[in-house]
Structure 1
Amino acid sequence: MKMCKSFVEDGVHPQVIVRAYRKATNMVMEKIKELAVKISTDDETEKRQLLERCAATALSSKSSPPLNMIGKKKVQGGALEDSMLVQGVAFKKAFSYAGFEMQQKKYSQPKIAMLNVELELKAERDNAEVRVDNVQEYQSVVDAEWDILYDKLKKLYESGAKVVLSKLPIGDVATQYFADNDMFCAGRVPDEDLKRTMKACGGSIQTTVANLTAGVLGTCEVFEETQIGGERYNIFKGCPQAKTCTLIIRGGSDQFMEETERSLHDAIMIVRRAIKNDSVVAGGGAIEMELSKYLREYSRTIAGKEQLLVAAYARALEVIPRQLCENAGFDATNILNKLRQKHSSGTDGKWYGVNVMTEDISDNFEGCVWEPSVVKINALTAASEATCLILSVDETIKNPKADQGQGGGAPRGGMGRGRGGL
């Protein structure tokens, strides 16, 4: 938009600019596909190295499992280097009752019961009104309540489950019962974590303990509860049903951990793109400079206004390496001149881009600064379509009622009208 503003002010019809920009966009798309390097999907070692390089590229700027199977937990304290990757599910223990210390903290190949059941004595005054005439009747109500709770706990024990997880509270009586019977329990487990455990470990979330068969219980290779920073974490490793992992991020402040989480999200998205699309291009402004050179050379072969417009599109692509230089505090003019000279020298310089480590230019493909080609294609297509859409709007229709309502002031709303439209 910035590059074509001067042409609009000089009276060039916007549709002429739109046609030139769309032609340049189509040429750029074809050039990216031509330049993109295909990767082999047969060699698993090579593919893993590629994905690691794509992730490293995204991390420096700030998957195999689905996004909802990648957990990210933040534990304040410690250094970034203390962060860890758990090959499975991990979540913070929400609350502990008396008897928790007596429970075993590690099991091998345990059966896991996942519940949406409350395992504690309910306060009947909050749920119902019971009128009794004597102490014996009151005692029978209390005994029935205890019998119901112990019946639930007995059925859980008889099911063979060693780990009991529940979305609802697990009280001190149940906690002590499980400890006495060599079982582990965790109550108030967040819904997201419980569902991820179910998908990874198998089984299903039960709303009753009446029929706890082997088919509704999950399992994993190793379960353990461990101390991470100031928090207790329940960790399930070797989950058989689905690929899942949990990133436990450490840092000295919440802001630092939030920024680390955003950087990890960028890296994960790039890796997912690279898995779905088997071609990559060099980043760091390299592909933009090569496309700019390609369009600039093409513009010299055509006549008329289109020559100037295609050249303007080529200049617009240089904003990426220029911005990289400015963000790093480099002399953008000097770096861009070096890049123009290198890219114009022939095919040997097509992957040269900004190197923020040396304050110079370098072959970013050799340096493993890679990006999936589809990311560049989508970004350039979206930018071009947005520009063409804005250029197609030639008039704004004001709402007279809005003018009157504002006492002759600025209108509160309007509607754009495209050329050849209304």
Structure 2
Amino acid sequence: MAQINQPMYILRDDTERFQGRQALRMNIFASQLLASIVRTTLGPKGMDKMLVDKMGDVVVTNDGATILQEMDIAHPAAKMLVEIARKQENVVGDGTTTVVIIAGELLKKAQELMEDGTPVPTILMGYRLAVAKAMEILFDISFDARDKDTLFGIAKTAMTGKGSDYAKDELAELLVQAVKKVEEGEEVDKTLIKIHRINGGSVEDSKIVDGIFIDQGRANETMPKEIHDAKIALMKYPLELKDLENAKVDFTDPLQMQIFLDNEQEMLKEIADKIIDSGCNVLFCQKGIDDVVQHYLSKEGIMAFKRVKNTDVKRIMKATGAELITNIEDLTPDVLGKADYIHQERVFDQILTFIEGCDEPKASSILIRGSTRHISSEIERAMEDALGVVAATIEEGKVVSGGGSPEIEIARQLRLYANSIGGREQLAIIAFADALEIVPRTLSENAGLNTIDLLVELRAAHEDNPYMGLDVFEGKVVDMKEAGVIEPQKVKKQAIQSAQEACEMILRIDDLVAAAGALQKPDPDENLDNSGMPPAPGMGGMGGMPPMM
């Protein structure tokens, strides 16, 4: 058979493909671009981002998780960093900006090593050795703490630099009180704490509720607005008949129609009677409540709520001791919960129902106030972050000092450790150490301080004290442990490990195949500036990225 010399194509003609070093450079550049976008938000002096969607809705925030979630990111490598940020948020609730900028810096250092001839497998091995050693160092510089003062300091640190900065002491105190109410041993179920924002008023008007509240009013306006000595029934059972809207019912004369309606009325009355006979005077139902049932309940002075959210039901159970009933036949006095006082109240423009006077409630609620929607939203995000780190501290029991001190100490010890490692892996470990210093460097840059002098001072201070960090307000190097600037160990641990994992995943990619138009072709004249950040032009969004390299 004659040999066929024509080329064979297995991809569509309009498919784009980038191979080897070109694909790697594109992915690294995309990751650095994403890191540069969120980098300016890090720390107490970080700036905010304004994000506008296609509908014109505006979000103003410096929360890394929110920024990455709201951005329309298209590049696959950048999406990987978004995933590690989402993982960071889900696991510990804070540190999303940190994990992204560390990953971006690790990739930058890896590219420098590759340009000098270091193979990718060698870089990856060095990074693995570095992250394992970093975890040992992190454990050594951590200290035990679960007391109230430590939790207060951690909550305050998490909210510093957010929209709540000027009221962080009051908000941190509210949060610690709420966590202490739901704490069981060394576990905190964050779903038992409701953080609800209301536009109007000032941040100082925020408060923790003596009990809990739900953000809805009673099912019927004729029902009482307040109940003393409440006996509470919780039901996951529809208090209505099956919807007959699409059913076909044939009647031969009007009398049959009346009998049918009478039977339906009687069935609904039986449902209402069973609720009344249980002795409850407040009913929370996860399903619907028919108007007829509402009428009979209202006549008996029972306050009822329909379509209550599952999370609210869970908090009511924990606060009042009520049992959730799935069959109305099981509704007896034994399954009812108790509260001293339940009342409906209008707070600014929202209707809330407060459940107060519960015996040792294992649920809590915080009411957040802010003069505008944007302010209250940012405060809510800050509180959610603080809740995550406080819960992580209680569960892990380990904390570290803040202000960039863990990164500086880990970097210092990694350089010493690198001397004991032979081969080019040593270079990768040193590069890993240099990459970690992006955190204190960014804190300094965002505060407008002399970065070079402060980094030199920080390194020198760590020869004697591993807790020395950067006070961006004073522009000095101080003992962060004594200053009360502390963070959960879990935040740093998760950030360093996740950044290394994402970096390794991106560095192992040597072939990028994309549908036509999914990626823009790289520009060989495109470079990063001296700061390691992409140039300003073209930073309009990751959906239509500027040319890469």
Scaled to the shorter chain, the TM-score interval is 0.7 to 0.9
Question: In structure 2, the residue corresponding to 1:144 is in which secondary structure?
Answer: helix
Q: Does 1:110 align with 2:231?
A: yes
Output the CA distance in 2 between the equivalents of 1:312 and 1:131. Answer: 84
Asked if 1:8 is matched to 2:111, the reply is no
Structure 1 residue 131: Cα displacement: 1.9
- 1:74 equivalent to 2:173? Answer no
Q: Which residue of 1 aligns with 2:137?
A: 31
Q: Structure 2 length normalisation: TM-score?
A: 0.63
Q: Distance in 1 between matches of 2:109 and 2:337?
A: 60
1:227 aligns to what SS in structure 2? strand
Output the amino acid matched with 2:251.
R
Return closer, same or farther for 1:156/1:128 CA change in 2, 3 Å cut-off.
farther
Following superposition, the deviation at residue 137 of structure 1 comes to 4.7
- Secondary structure of residue in 2 paired with 1:226: strand
Aligned residue in 2 for 1:377: 493
Contact 2:158 2:382 in 1 (8 A): yes
Q: CA deviation at 1:295?
A: 2.7
Aligned partners of 1:33, 1:329: CA distance in 2, in Å?
32
Report 1:219-238 matches (<5 A). 219-237=338-356
Contact 2:316 2:322 in 1 (8 A): no
Cα distance in 1 between the residues matched to 2:474 and 2:308: 48
Kept in 2, the 8 Å contact 1:28–1:291? The answer is yes
Is the 1:94–1:187 Cα contact (8 Å) retained in structure 2?
Answer: no
Say whether 1:51 aligns with 2:151: yes
- 1:258 equivalent to 2:374? Answer no
1:157: Cα distance to partner?
Answer: 1.7
Larger relative CO (CA 8 A, sep 6+): 1 or 2?
Answer: 2
Q: Secondary structure at 1:220's aligned position in 2?
A: strand
Partner-residue secondary structure (3-state), 2:487: strand
CA shift for structure 1 position 161 = 0.2
Q: CA-to-partner distance for each residue in 1:237-261, whole Å, 9 max, x for gaps?
A: 3556972112222223333333222
| One-letter identity of the residue aligned with 1:370 | I
Q: CA deviation at 1:124?
A: 6.2
- CA distance in structure 1 between the aligned counterparts of 2:450 and 2:122, rounded to whole angstroms: 35
Deviation at 1:215, TM superposition (A): 3.5
User: Percent identical across equivalent pairs?
Assistant: 29
Q: Distance in 1 between matches of 2:142 and 2:416?
A: 20
Q: Does 1:163 pair with 2:263?
A: no
Aligned to 2:253: 133
Q: Once structures 1 and 2 are overlaid, which stretch shifts more, 137-146 or 13-22?
A: 137-146
Distance in 2 separating the partners of 1:160 and 1:292:
66
Rounded Cα–Cα distance in structure 1 between residues aligned with 2:360 and 2:256: 50
| Cα shift readout 1:103-139 (whole Å, capped 9, x = no counterpart) | 15032252334353335x99966655352524x5544
Q: Please state how far the C-alpha of 1:163 moved relative to its aligned partner.
A: 0.2
| Residue matched to 1:329 | 448
Distance in 2 (CA, whole Å) between partners of 1:142 and 1:302 is: 86
Partner of 2:337 in structure 1? 218
Shift in Å at residue 91 of structure 1? 1.1
- 1:341 pairs with one of 450, 456, 460: 460
TM-score (norm. length: structure 1): 0.79
Say if 1:83 and 1:250, in contact at 8 Å, map to a contact too. yes
Q: Distance in 2 between matches of 1:132 and 1:234?
A: 48
Could you tell me which amino acid in structure 1 is paired with residue 440 of structure 2?
Answer: P
1:164 is paired with a residue whose SS is strand
In structure 2, the CA distance between the partners of 1:231 and 1:397, relative to structure 1 (3 Å rule), is closer
Q: Give, in whole Å, the separation in 2 of the partners of 1:67 and 1:339.
A: 36
Q: What one-letter code is carried by the residue in structure 1 that aligns with 2:441? A: R
The two structures, once aligned, show a CA RMSD in angstroms of 3.3
What are structure 1's unaligned runs of at least 5 residues? 42-46, 411-422
Alignment match, 2:220: 97
Q: Quote the residue 2:511 is aligned against.
A: 396
Q: Which residue of 1 aligns with 2:430?
A: 311
1:299-337 CA distance string (max 9 Å, x none): 567776455443322221110011122333333334323
**Alignment correspondent of 1:360:** 476
Cα distance in 2 for residues equivalent to 1:225 and 1:252? 23
CA contact (8 A) 1:169 1:188 kept: yes
- The C-alpha deviation readout for 1:339-363, integer Å capped at 9, x for no partner, is 223223x13xx21212233233321
For residues 166 and 108 of structure 1, what CA distance do their matches in structure 2 show? Answer: 19
Displacement after TM superposition at 1:167 (Å):
3.1
Q: Which residue of 1 aligns with 2:527?
A: none
After superposition, what is the alpha-carbon deviation per residue over 1:194-216, rounded to whole angstroms, capped at 9, x for unaligned?
Answer: 34423543444445544421243
Structure 2: stretches of 5+ with no match in the other structure: 1-106, 163-178, 522-549
Is this contact kept in 2: 1:98–1:176, CA < 8 A?
Answer: no
Partners in 2 of 1:93 and 1:132 — Cα distance?
44
* Counterpart-to-counterpart distance in 2, 1:12 and 1:208: 68
CA distance in 2, matches of 1:130, 1:199: 48
Contact 2:230/2:342 (8 A) holds in 1? yes
Q: Deviations over 1:163-209 (max 9, x none)?
A: 01223444665445444433212223234423442354344444554
Does the 8 A contact of 2:269 with 2:292 survive in 1?
Answer: no
Change (3 A) 1:225 1:98: closer
1:21 to 127, 132, 151: 127
Q: Which amino acid aligns with 1:384?
A: Q
Distance 1:279 1:106, change over 3 A: same
Give, in whole Å, the separation in 2 of the partners of 1:244 and 1:331: 47
CA gap of 1:132–1:355, structure 2 versus 1, over 3 A, is farther
* Count of matched residue pairs: 390
Aligned pairs for 1:174-253 within 5 A: 174-175=293-294, 177-206=296-325, 208-237=327-356, 239=358, 243-253=362-372
Partner of 2:62: none
Q: In structure 2, how many angstroms separate the alpha carbons of the residues matched to 1:74 and 1:122?
A: 36
CA distance in 2, matches of 1:108, 1:170: 23
Q: What SS does the aligned partner of 1:74 have?
A: strand
Partner of 1:351: 467
Report deviation, 1:397.
Answer: 7.6
* Paired AA for residue 118 in structure 2: V
* Distance in structure 1 (CA, Å) of the matches to 2:279 and 2:448: 63
